Amino acid sequence: MGINPTGLDWQRFTLAVDELDQIVGCGQVKNHRAGVRELASLAVAPAWRGRGLAGAIMRELMQQTGPPLWLMCRSSLVSLYAKFGFEEVGPDEDQPGYFRRMRTLAGALLFASGDEYLAIMTWPGD
């Protein structure tokens, strides 16, 4: 499972474990300035993918946290997160400064070539 190592606080994590208590999935909600919260560090071990674990972890974190909630993902994953009520926020739309900066950095460094981009999404709730 590959997750961004910055801003990790294991006390905020929700874990999925197998019958041997081995971690097979995880996710957390990071707190940013001005009360902005980010769904982050969502990962599932390859052998456990396709079983609904990522969705279960997301639903648990969303229930614990409530809206609004933000996330960053590869553009190819926008439709996945949309199924959970997240909406993509365009580069010219209102968004916390942290996400605007990350979008700029990712565009320059990570997605400089190719069709994918860093998508910023928010879950405004019902």
Position 56 pLDDT exceeds 90: yes
Of the two residues 105 and 58, the one the predictor is more confident about is: 58
Give the per-residue pLDDT at 106. Answer: 81
If we measure between CA atoms, which residue out of 43, 29, 49 comes closest to residue 123? 29
Pairing of strands 23-31, 37-44: antiparallel
Length of the chain: 126
Give the per-residue pLDDT at 1. Answer: 43
Assign 12 a pLDDT band (cuts: 50, 70, 90): confident
Give the per-residue pLDDT at 115. Answer: 82
Question: Span 66-79, mean pLDDT?
Answer: 94
Residue-range domains of the chain with CATH: 1-66 (3.40.630.30), 67-126 (no CATH)
Give the per-residue pLDDT at 124. Answer: 93
DSSP H/E element including 55 = helix 53-65
Position 2 pLDDT exceeds 60: no
Question: Span 68-81, mean pLDDT?
Answer: 94
Phi, psi at 125, each rounded to 5°: 85, -175
Give the per-residue pLDDT at 39. Answer: 96
